[in-house]
Amino acid sequence: MAIDPSNPLIVQSDRTLLLDVHAPRAEEGREAIMPFAELEKSPEHMHTYRISPLSLWNAASAGFRPEDIGAALEEFTRYPISRGILEGFADTMSRYGKIRMRSDNGDNLFLECEDEAILAEIGASASLEKYLQKSGKGFRVKLTDRGTVKRELIRLGWPVKDEASFAQGDKLEFSFRNTAMSGLPFTIRDYQEEAARAVQGNGGPGTGYGVVVLPCGSGKTIVGMLLMSMLKTNTLILTTNVAATHQWIDELLDKTDLKAEDLAEYSGDRKAIAPVTIATYQIITWRPRRVDTSTEDGQAEFPHFKLFRERAWGLIIYDEVHLLPAPIFRVTAELQAVRRLGLTATLVREDGNEDAVFSLVGPKRYDVPWKDIEAKGWIAEALCTEIRLDLPEDLKIPYAVAAPREKYRIASENPLKEKIAFQLIENHGEDQILVIGQYISQLESFARLLKVPLITGKTPNPERERIYGAFKRGEMRVIVVSKVANFAIDLPDASMAIQISGSFGSRQEEAQRLGRILRPKARNSWFFTLVSRYTVEEDFAANRQKFLAEQGYKYSIHHWGFK
């Protein structure tokens, strides 16, 4: 193997790949490894990718072979590659497809495998016993157990190649407008179409479902709408809150020729059903009580699960799929005959359930680094700054003797943060600003100080819509928001965020909060985080800082003092 020292890739024995972004063939190398390696870090010089069993199974599901991966690595590597690494890839990838699921007669599927040892392992699994009926070289599986069996098998290290057919769903013809109803120019971006087509596939077995990973502000909603237009079928869209539901409806009416009667909202406010129905996770997972002694497992039923069977859906879209609640996993396991699309800015799940997303929604079909889209001008450039300040003297002793969780709250609610936020707002007189925090009492104090509206989980939806609308129209420049603004809120003119407290260094939360200010605009965006110095808040901030640096964002730390 001829080695070229100008090549962009360094392949390490721990299955990490370092990509030198300054090398002449860096972009070619990135495109070559994206199908089988997960991007972990993308700072300014070296990007880090990791090859994991899940990433290799993603590649196998997309038709890649071990030799394809070996050829890609050898073409772009700077140094010789250990043969053991390549052989290990083959062993892992060969697990995908050993077990296949196909349609059978009646209400059954057939789980087949030619390897008797694997069949014996599956048959001996206590977690699968009640779902499988032995039959020849495989097992019969009920249609409703399709997803549950797939999830249990991936936990055993055997990802299923699902070749069972999909329900077609009722037809729904519609197309995109040449010009949006709003009068604003509208064009479908190249990566949006690539993403939708990657999920659609060729229409054959093993295609038509999967996950798209794109940064906040890059137009993931358009990807969902594109796939809808390709499949032309009744669609159920699940999203995080009522505001996001209204945004989907507004986008569909603005950019397609669908009519108002084709769309319906199913939420705590309204419960209508139409060919395209947009529902919230909260209403789907609501139940009047948690315990029901009349059921086999003692768990009360979720009455709104019936929505999944109200129409012949041909597509289900899971917005912010990284937040998919556990009960939705349960019903998704039963709905494997429906095409599925997951949309997210990050596949990081704080509960570690990435394998459940893979087996129940689908493998990752498309992603692209945040900075690549920023470089093309599709999202704004963000400048990230951490401002550290001391605790007031009268809080230092209470902080020192407090329990660990109380320490975090004392540090988060440092009253000197109000002075800094006020100064930042004064310094940025031309920016549209979000003040974001964790604790309601702290947010209420900020809203009173700044004389601006506050939005929390208890704010009625009509009031939220009114405030968001005034902010979008420029009638108010600053709003204070709780964690309800972390998800799926479209405030395109927001150019600055001041984070006054957060959820213990959550990477997921950091990605979402930064996403609030990444919509493309003529100016840079500012992301400020206020942190109490010499406290546990610094430790959690370091975790968030690391995440931002790994995404390629420049992160500076300033110390502010008060006389």
Query: By percentage, how much of the chain surpasses pLDDT 70?
Result: 88
Helices 404-412/536-550 angle, 10° precision: 70
Residue 2, C-beta contacts closer than 8 angstroms, at least 6 positions apart: none
pLDDT at residue 216, as a whole number:
75
pLDDT of residue 30: 86
Residue 260 pLDDT: 94
Confidence tier at 145 by pLDDT (50, 70, 90): confident
Average pLDDT value for residue range 461-468 = 86
Distance CA 361, CA 209 (A): 7
Is residue 140 within 8 Å of residue 312, measured between CB atoms?
A: no
190-374 CATH fold:
Rossmann fold (3.40.50)
- Please list the residues that pair with 37 across neighbouring strands: none
Kindly report, residue by residue over 129-141, the tens digit of the pLDDT: 899 998 888 899 8
Euclidean distance between CA atoms 96 and 113, whole angstroms: 11
pLDDT at 84: 78
Q: What does the pLDDT look like over 518-555, one tens digit per residue?
A: 665 556 788 898 999 999 888 877 777 777 766 667 77
Q: If you write DSSP's letter for every residue of 315-380 in order, what string do you get?
A: EEEETTGGG--HHHHHHHHH-TTSEEEEEES----TT-THHHIIIII--EEEE--HHHHHHTTSS-
Angle at 282 between CA 277 and CA 287, to 5 degrees: 110
More confident of the two residues 265 and 503: 265
Q: Which pLDDT value is given to residue 263?
A: 96
| pLDDT given at position 72 | 94
Question: Which segments of 113-208 are extended strands (E)?
Answer: 133-134, 138-142, 161-162
Reported as a single tens digit per residue, the pLDDT across 286-326 is 777 655 444 444 455 777 777 887 788 899 999 988 777 77
Band of pLDDT at residue 515, cut at 50, 70 and 90: low
Please calculate the CA angle 132-136-142 and round it to the nearest 5 degrees: 30
Name the pairing type of β-strands 525-532 and 494-499. parallel
Indicate the residue type of 195: A
In the chain, ranges of CATH 3.40.50.300 domains? 190-374, 380-559
Q: Which residue has the higher pLDDT, 3 or 78?
A: 78
pTM given for the model:
0.72
Q: Give the model's pLDDT for residue 274.
A: 93
Name the least confident of 295-299, 344-348, 401-405.
295-299
- Whether domain 380-559 has CATH 3.40.50.300: the reply is yes
> Each residue of 191-229: pLDDT tens digit?
999 999 989 987 666 678 889 988 877 889 999 999 999
pLDDT category of residue 265 using cuts at 50, 70 and 90: very high
- When pLDDT is averaged across residues 8-15 and rounded to a whole number, the result is 92
Instruction: Return the pLDDT at 282.
Output: 83
Sign of CA pseudo-dihedral 25, 27, 30, 35:
negative
- Looking at every residue in the chain, the average pLDDT score rounds to 84
Report the relative pairing of strands 432-436 and 46-50 from DSSP bridges. unpaired
Q: Name every residue whose Cβ is closer than 8 Å to that of residue 76 and which is 6 or more positions away in sequence.
A: 7, 8, 9, 25, 28, 29, 32, 33
For the cut 80, the answer to whether the pLDDT of residue 351 exceeds it is no
- pLDDT for residue 43 is more than 80: no
Contacts of 4 (CB under 8 A, 6+ apart): 78
**Residue 333: pLDDT above 90?**
no
Residue 359, both tokens: 């087996």
Name every residue whose Cβ is closer than 8 Å to that of residue 467 and which is 6 or more positions away in sequence.
453, 455, 459, 476, 479
